């Protein structure tokens, strides 16, 4: 299990949040596709190396999973770690199953 | 100055020739035997005197790790212009071509990326009509 600090650190960066936005919209993206989208749609001019490092941080936090298919590596968004946030600070007005 | 030739490194020239002609639809321009390989180029049938694509053997020891690293990150070795990326995707996928990136709207351009079966990724792109 990734450490909780890794999750909050991963989310505390606008470029990493944009990466998650794009992966949430379309799964299974290569580094090249992601960098193209960030450049063309978000105006984020970071280098491939920089985006690759951001992806490593997101993967450590469990928010991105990668899989190799053939010769290429692809990335997916995984929102499961975010459940820890809602469990720690339940959103008012939602299901009260955790209440005594 | 003009660009008259560009190249992709292929692991098998004859297999590459078949893919680039029979699947993609280019035509052979020159084939000059050079020892165990050839000077082998293809051109677009619509521009027989246009830019040639050299199908270059990947014998050099630096080429294989270079190609592997590009493919891992999804980076194309070449980009070709098409009129309609979605139509080409449909046509090529129907012939069994594997895409690493399906047609994607990238703002001013629509692109897709596929495997050339010879170790490269190839991008196809169509500029969108300007508003």
- Torsion over CA: A7, B73, B97, A38 (sign): positive
Summarised one tens digit per residue, pLDDT across range A25-53 is: 999 999 999 999 999 989 998 999 999 99
The pLDDT mean for chain B works out to: 96
The tokens for B32 are: 């000059």
The pLDDT of B38-67, averaged and rounded, is 97
Residue B56 has pLDDT above 70, yes or no: yes
pLDDT band per the 50, 70, 90 thresholds, residue A96: low
Which residues in chain B have Cβ-Cβ distances shorter than 8 Å to A52?
Answer: 73
pLDDT band per the 50, 70, 90 thresholds, residue B111: very high
Model ipTM value: 0.88
Which of B66, B67, B68, B73 to probe by mutation at the A interface, max A CB count within 10 Å? B73
The tokens for A72 are: 């290429």
Euclidean distance between CA atoms B5 and A86, whole angstroms: 57
Residue A7's closest CA among A70, A45, A59, A67? A59
pLDDT band per the 50, 70, 90 thresholds, residue A1: low
Q: What is the pLDDT of residue A98?
A: 55
Which residues in chain A have Cβ-Cβ distances shorter than 8 Å to B109?
Answer: 40
Query: Would you list the DSSP string of A62-94?
Result: TSEEEEEETTEEEEEE--GGGHHHHHHSPPTTS
Of all helices (H) and strands (E), which one includes residue B55?
Answer: strand B52-57
Domains and CATH numbers, chain B: 5-127 (3.10.180.10)
Q: What angle do CA B62, A66, A77 make, to 5 degrees?
A: 140
Q: Write out B1-40 in H/E/C secondary structure.
A: CCCCEEEEEECCHHHHHHHHHHHCCCEEEEEEEECCEEEE
Summarised one tens digit per residue, pLDDT across range A68-80 is: 999 999 999 999 9
Q: What is the pLDDT of residue A63?
A: 97
Summarised one tens digit per residue, pLDDT across range A51-95 is: 999 999 999 999 999 999 999 999 999 999 999 898 999 888 765
Considering only residues B97 and B131, tell me which one the structure prediction assigns the higher pLDDT.
Answer: B97
Q: What is the pLDDT of residue B131?
A: 61
pTM confidence score: 0.89
Domains and CATH numbers, chain A: 4-88 (1.10.10.10)
């Amino acid at each position: 299990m990734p450490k909780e600090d890794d999750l909050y650190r991963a989310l505390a960066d606008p470029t990493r949040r944009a990466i998650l936005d794009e992966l949430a919209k379309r799964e299974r993206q290569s580094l090249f596709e992601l960098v193209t989208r960030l450049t063309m749609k978000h105006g984020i001019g970071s280098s491939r190396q920089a985006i690759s490092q951001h992806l490593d941080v997101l993967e450590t936090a469990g928010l991105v999973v990668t899989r190799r298919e053939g010769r290429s590596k692809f990335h997916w968004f995984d929102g499961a770690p975010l459940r820890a946030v809602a469990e720690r600070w339940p959103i008012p007005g939602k299901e009260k199953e955790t209440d005594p | 100055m003009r660009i008259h030739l560009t190249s992709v490194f292929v692991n098998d020239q004859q297999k590459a020739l078949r893919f680039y002609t029979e699947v993609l639809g280019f035509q052979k321009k020159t084939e000059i035997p050079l020892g165990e390989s050839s000077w082998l180029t293809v051109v677009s049938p619509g521009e027989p005197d246009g830019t040639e694509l050299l199908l270059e053997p990947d014998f050099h020891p630096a080429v294989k790790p270079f190609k592997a690293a590009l493919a891992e990150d999804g980076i194309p070795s070449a980009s070709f212009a098409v009129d309609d990326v979605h139509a080409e995707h449909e046509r090529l996928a129907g012939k069994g071509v594997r895409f690493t990136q399906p047609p994607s709207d990238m703002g001013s351009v629509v692109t897709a990326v596929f495997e050339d079966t010879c170790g490269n990724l190839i991008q196809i792109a169509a500029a969108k009509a300007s508003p």
